Amino acid sequence: MIIQLEKNISEEQKSNIVNKINEAGYKSNFVSTQYCDYIIGVGNKDFDIRAIGVLPGVKDIHIVLEASKLVSKKWKTQDTVIDLGDDVKIGGGNFQIMAGPCSIESEKQIEITVAHLLKNNIKIMRGGVYKPRSSPYAFRGLGLKGLKIFYKYCKAAGIKIITEVMMPEQIDGMYEYVDIFQVGARNSQNFNLLDALGKQDKPVMLKRGISGTLDELLASAEYIFSNGNEDILLCERGIRTYEKSYRNTFDINSIPVLKDKSHLPVIIDSSHGVGIRKFVEPVALAGVIAGGDAVITEVHETPQKAFSDGAQTLSHDEAEIYYKNVRKTFEFRKTLYRY
Ligand code: PEP
Ligand code: MN
Q: What is residue 219's predicted lDDT score, i.e. its pLDDT?
A: 98
Q: Which residue has its alpha carbon closest to ligand 1 atom 6? A: 184
Above 90 in pLDDT, residue 48?
no
Please tell me the distance between residue 315's alpha carbon and the centre of ligand 2 in angstroms: 14
Please tell me the distance between residue 76's alpha carbon and the centre of ligand 2 in angstroms: 33
Q: What is residue 45's predicted lDDT score, i.e. its pLDDT?
A: 84
Beta strand pairing call for 2-5 and 37-42: antiparallel
Above 90 in pLDDT, residue 163?
yes
Q: Which residue has its alpha carbon closest to ligand 1 atom 10? A: 185
Q: What is residue 223's predicted lDDT score, i.e. its pLDDT?
A: 98
First-to-final CA distance of the chain: 26
Q: Which residue has its alpha carbon closest to ligand 1 atom 3? A: 102
Classify 282 as helix, strand or coil.
Answer: helix
Ligand 1 atom showing the smallest separation from residue 103 Cα: 3
Average pLDDT of span 233-258: 98
CA distances from 26 to 15, 73, 294 (A): 14, 21, 38
Residues 143 and 170: their CA atoms lie apart, in Å, by 9
Ligand 1 atom showing the smallest separation from residue 132 Cα: 5
Q: What is residue 339's predicted lDDT score, i.e. its pLDDT?
A: 52
HSE, CB side, 13 Å, CA atoms: give it for residue 110. Answer: 22
| CATH among 3.20.20.70, 3.40.430.10, 3.20.20.10, 3.30.70.2190 for 82-336 | 3.20.20.70
To the question of domain 2-62 being in CATH 3.60.150.10, the answer is no
Whether residue 166 contacts residue 184, with contact meaning beta carbons closer than 8 Å, is answered with yes
Whether residue 210 contacts residue 239, with contact meaning beta carbons closer than 8 Å, is answered with yes
Average pLDDT of span 19-28: 93
Of the chain, the percentage scoring pLDDT greater than 70 comes to 99
Pocket mutation for ligand 1, best pick of 130, 135, 164 (most atoms within 8 Å of C-beta): 164
Going from N- to C-terminal start, the domains of the chain cover: 2-62, 82-336
